[in-house]
Chains A and B, each alone.
Chain A
Amino acid sequence: MSARDEILGRIRTALGPDRAAPAEVRRDYRLTDDRSPDELLDVLTDRLEDYRATVVRCAPSEVAATVGSALRTALGEHSPADVVVAPGVPADRRPDGAVEDDGRPAVALAGYAATVTGVAVAIAETGTLVLDGSPLSGRRALSLLPDCLVCVVEAAQVVGSVPEGLARLDPLAPLTMISGPSATSDIELQRVEGVHGPRTLVVVLVA
């Protein structure tokens, strides 16, 4: 007998011949967040800053300049070619001279100092950005290897709760939920930001 049949047979034996129908799951927890869009932006900002991310707000016309300025703050003086952008980021939102991810071997991305991407959705209550592997979010390695990650978030992409956020996502896409810079609490439960993932996270809120 294959291990598959063996295990499935054991489960059937364990549950017995007259197994009860599973009880219905009551979803009477909060599914939506009633706060206004402005409030949600404030909550998102508060949560992200709590994780030691940097949050800057700007008008739609100022995105490229704001990203450029955030990169200068994070990296100091740097070559424009040290910055790589997800292919779906519109040209007018890219910092000058940034390189578009051209699908080179993933490990080669480690050579860049910073990445600029968009997001699929942002969840205010938990301070979470979700990247979905689309051209706007970029492939997963892009938001992982460079030490500084700049994410551009549109106000319309911000939802209040986790259920609202997951409802907007495609379960078949390669998803990365990001809540602040990488961190560890493995030494005496003291939180240290920045281990293997980007040590700096900048969120540009377009509102």
Chain B
Amino acid sequence: MTAVFLGIPTAPRGVGHLRGDLSFPDAARDSLRDGQLRANLGHATATIRGKRAAVVGEVPDWAELREAGRAIKAATMARLDEHLIALEEQVTARGGTVHWASDATEANEIVTRLVQATGTDEVVKVKSMATQEIGLNEALEAAGIAAHETDLAELIVQLGEDTPSHILVPAIHKNRAEIREIFLRTMPGVDPGLTDDPRKLAMAARAHLRERFLRARVAISGANFAVAETGTLAVVESEGNGRMCLTLPQTLITVMGIEKVVPTWRDLEVFLQLLPRSSTGERMNPYTSLWAGVTPGDGPQEFHLVLVDNGRTAVLADEVGREALHCIRCSACLNVCPVYERAGGHAYGSVYPGPIGAVLSPQLTGIEDNASLPYASSLCGACYDVCPVAIDIPSILVHLRAEHVEAQQHAGPEALAFRALSKAMSNPRLWRLAQKAAGLGRFLAWGRPTLPAALPPPASRWTRTRDLPTPPKETFTQAWAREHGG
């Protein structure tokens, strides 16, 4: 059953960051030529792969944890409506206010209204994929509200007027020299003697943001988990910018996708083991903040939770594709993906890059708005191996390719070719004829062992960089039949 058939809307166009301007192959063409980007990504992903492998390797029950994580997510999705209602009750009972947003536009309107009601014109933000997805910063800016990103990598991206290219490390495409240059150019009052030492750069960010944290009246965060039975929200982070935002301002607005709910408090014992080791390659991330509603005398005294759909229910309608909603945003799949490592995050055109992005973005937007993404994979399966909740990404990619093919009204040349090939391959007599025809290709080689590099498209897309062997005179089955008198 598909969302289109059921009339469930996908994420609307014209708002947020789920669609790119270019198809994946076109966008990748540019990034593949960027030697600095390739070097930065190669270095960073190799580092994090090694760290993850080491800390996952030391957990004897990793397979059991992973299976439990998968099962919890599957069980959550099967009763998503009930868990959201329970979450709403619990958060409300503890002094929070719950808002529901059908899509990015509604979510942005809700948050803007809430900020305006406080009378402030600036907010501090914890890194959040949901707010990136809906384009909240742009919406706030349009309303005259300045949103200050406080995660170091998000700050680098924001100051550099760039876009994130990784879920966990949005500035993974920048190296220390490039970051130093951005800070020198954009940070008011920065020490002109700033070096490219990562420690010095981090200290510059600390100094830059300190005063903003202390004066902020409103903070906006995402959420890694929300526990339905208790109303407990969780934010997992490293730098302490999250704690600053979640603790110091009077008002906290948390924006989360509806799929982030988990049924029980106990479920966190699974995810708090799976996430840090998969994500930063640490046994535990430096800080995890957990809160339920409002605590008098401790932290924000006004708490709003905004539950966002924005295409998630459309994903839920697809029995195969819905597994993509299990994602806990660890980014392990990005770090092992050979396509991501070379093409980079921007080539995916969405805030969700890499293998998980290639299955999530097209489902959130509707497949035709991101039709090239399911093909942006060699189906090597490394993503499935490392996924802490065992999302079978290769199978979803293949499924979405079929959904795209089956959505076409008219058969193009590729579809016609595959149909003809299907006819041939399902009829031994026709197949022998087709093989004979392919064998005629050997005459193009003029007796050489490989075919010429200059073949017409689509063969040229292979032969531009790779030789193609000259087809043999005789197929194996022919030779065998000849030998065995068949």
Contact = CB atoms under 8 A, between A and B. Distances in A.
A186 B80 contact: no
B424 to A, nearest CB: 39
B240 A182 contact: yes
Given A22-B75, A26-B71, A8 B85 contact: yes
Interface residues of B, number: 103
A187 B79 CA distance: 40
A2 B209 contact: no
B75 to A, nearest CB: 3
Contacts of A15: 77-78, 80-81, 316
Nearest to B110: A3
Given A22-B74, A172-B232, A189 B47 contact: yes
Nearest to A106: B248
A47 interface: yes
B111 to A, nearest CB: 14
B243 A144 contact: yes
Chain B, interface SS category: helix
Interface in A1-35: 2-4, 6-8, 10-16, 19-30
Contacts of B299: 139-141, 174
A185 interface: yes
Contacts of B377: none
B241 interface: yes
A181 B202 CA distance: 14
A195 B298 contact: no
A144 B244 contact: yes
B484 interface: no
Nearest to A2: B100
Contacts of A60: none
> Could you tell me the dominant secondary structure of chain A's interface residues?
loop
Interface string B192-231: 0000001101110110011001100000000000010011
Most A-side CB within 10 Å, residue of B44, B152, B240, B243: B240
A19 B238 CA distance: 39
A183 interface: yes
Contacts of A21: 78
B136 interface: no
A186 B285 contact: no
A2 to B, nearest CB: 7
Contacts, number: 258
Nearest to A164: B269
Interface residues of A, number: 72
A184 interface: yes
B129 interface: no
Interface string B236-252: 00111101101110000
B151 interface: yes
A175 B78 CA distance: 29
A171 B43 CA distance: 40
A14 B3 contact: yes
Given A139-B298, A182-B287, A195 B317 contact: no
B101 interface: yes
Interface in A158-207: 162-163, 166-167, 171-190, 192, 194-198
Nearest to B245: A196
B248 A3 contact: no
Interface in B276-302: 276, 280, 282-292, 295, 297-299
Contact of B44 (A2, A126, A140, A189): A189
Contacts of A29: 61, 64-65, 68, 270, 273
A127 B276 CA distance: 13
Contact of B94 (A25, A172, A190): A172
A177 B270 contact: no
B179 interface: yes
Contact of B239 (A6, A12, A163, A182): A182
A23 B175 CA distance: 46
A174 B151 contact: no
Nearest to B154: A186
Contacts of A185: 169, 238, 280
Interface in B127-174: 150-153, 156, 169, 171-172
B48 interface: yes
A46 B169 CA distance: 27
B481 interface: no
A187 B198 contact: yes
A103 interface: yes
Contacts of A20: 78
Given A4-B100, A26-B71, A187-B201, A181 B291 contact: no
Which interface residue of B106, B171, B176, B317 has the most chain A CB atoms within 10 A? B317
Nearest to A195: B239
Contacts of B265: 166, 171
B23 interface: no
A11 B77 CA distance: 9
B214 A110 contact: yes
Contacts of A181: 286
A104 to B, nearest CB: 11
B202 A174 contact: no
Contact of A171 (B151, B152, B292, B313): B292
Contacts of A180: 286
- 7 nearest interchain CB pairs? A197-B240, A22-B75, A196-B240, A10-B313, A126-B284, A182-B240, A14-B317
27 contacts: A7-B84, A12-B81, A13-B313, A14-B313, A14-B314, A14-B322, A22-B75, A29-B270, A128-B284, A162-B273, A163-B266, A166-B269, A175-B289, A177-B287, A179-B287, A182-B240, A184-B238, A185-B169, A185-B280, A186-B202, A187-B176, A189-B48, A194-B203, A195-B152, A196-B206, A197-B239, A197-B243
Interface of B: 1, 3, 6-8, 40, 43-44, 47-48, 51, 60-61, 64-65, 67-68, 71-72, 74-81, 84-85, 94, 99-102, 106, 150-153, 156, 169, 171-172, 175-176, 179, 198-199, 201-203, 205-206, 209-210, 213-214, 227, 230-232, 238-241, 243-244, 246-248, 258, 265-270, 272-273, 276, 280, 282-292, 295, 297-299, 307, 309, 313-314, 316-317, 322
Given A10-B8, A15-B80, A176-B290, 8 more contacts: A7-B100, A11-B313, A26-B71, A133-B298, A174-B291, A182-B238, A195-B238, A195-B239
